[in-house]
Amino acid sequence: MVTALEPPTLDEIRAARGRIAGEVLRTPLVRLNVDGPTEIYLKLENLQAIGSFKLRGAANAMARASDAQLAHGVYTASAGNMAQGVAWCARRRGVACSVVVPDTAPEAKLSAITRLGAAIHKVPFAEWWNVLVTRQHPRFDGQLFVHPVSDRAVIAGNGTIGLEIAEDMPDADAVVIPYGGGGLTTGIATALRALHPKARIFAAEPETAAPLAASLAAGSPQEVAYTPSFVDGIGSTGLLAEMWPVVRRLVDGSLVLPLEAIAAAVRLLVERSRVVAEGAGATPVAAALSGKAGTGKIVCVVSGGNIDSAKLAKILQGGLP
Q: What is the 3-state secondary structure (H, E, C) of 231-247?
A: CCCCCCCCCCCCCHHHH
Taking the mean position of all CA atoms in its chain, how far away is CA 119? Answer: 22
This prediction has a pTM of: 0.94
User: Rounded distance, CA 233 to CA 17, Å?
Assistant: 24
Domain 10-52+152-316 in CATH 3.40.640.10: no
Q: Do domains 10-52+152-316 and 55-145 have the same CATH topology?
A: yes
User: Rounded distance, CA 299 to CA 278, Å?
Assistant: 17
Q: What Rg value do the Cα atoms of the chain yield, rounded?
A: 18
pLDDT by position in tens, the chain (length 321): 557 788 999 999 999 999 999 899 999 999 999 988 899 999 999 999 999 999 999 999 999 999 999 999 999 998 788 999 999 999 999 999 999 998 888 787 888 899 999 999 999 988 998 998 899 999 998 899 999 999 999 999 999 999 999 999 999 999 999 999 999 999 999 999 999 999 999 999 999 999 999 999 999 999 999 898 999 889 888 999 999 999 999 999 999 999 999 999 999 999 999 999 999 999 999 999 999 999 999 999 999 999 999 999 999 999 999
Q: Measured on CA atoms in the order 171, 174, 179, 181, is the torsion positive or negative?
A: positive
- With a CB cutoff of 8 Å and minimum separation 6, the contacts of 225 are 237
Question: CATH class for domain 55-145?
Answer: alpha beta
Name the residue ranges covered by the structural domains of the chain: 10-52+152-316, 55-145
Angle, helices 10-20/54-64, rounded to nearest 10 degrees: 90
Query: How high is the pLDDT of residue 43?
Result: 98
Query: How high is the pLDDT of residue 2?
Result: 59
